[in-house]
Amino acid sequence: MSLSIYLIAKEDIDKDNFDELYSTNITHNLTEMAKECDLYFALWHSQNINTASDLIPKLDAGIAELLDNPAYYKAFDDKNDWGTYLQFVPWLIKLRTACKKYSNSIVKISK
């Protein structure tokens, strides 16, 4: 199972079918790491997140924390490599780039 995040245009918000401006997914095995760097509620539950611009500050802070303390966060790597620090950080950076590009888009979360 995985977490899927979609960025969609505001005009598509009430439609059953919408064009994705960006979509991505990642394993739920990263939830403990996400909790530790304060990204869990923003990503897995979209708490206080409506638009991509709402997500950018959370991503900035979480990425900075992860990059500042790699040894600490690598301890949360999944033992079977299905969710590691080396997978999570680049995924977050790509998500942040998309959020900046589509800052007015709506964030939809599927888990």
pLDDT tens by residue, 12-53: 555 566 678 999 999 999 999 999 999 999 999 998 899 999
- Bigger pLDDT: 15 vs 70: 70
pTM greater than the 0.85 cutoff: yes
Domain definitions of the chain by residue range: 2-110
**Closest Cα partner for 99 from 87, 88, 108?**
108
What pLDDT is stored for residue 90 in this prediction?
A: 98
Environment class of residue 86 by beta-carbon count within 10 Å: exposed (0-12), middle (13-18) or buried (19+)? exposed
Residue 36: half-sphere exposure toward Cβ, Cα within 13 Å: 17
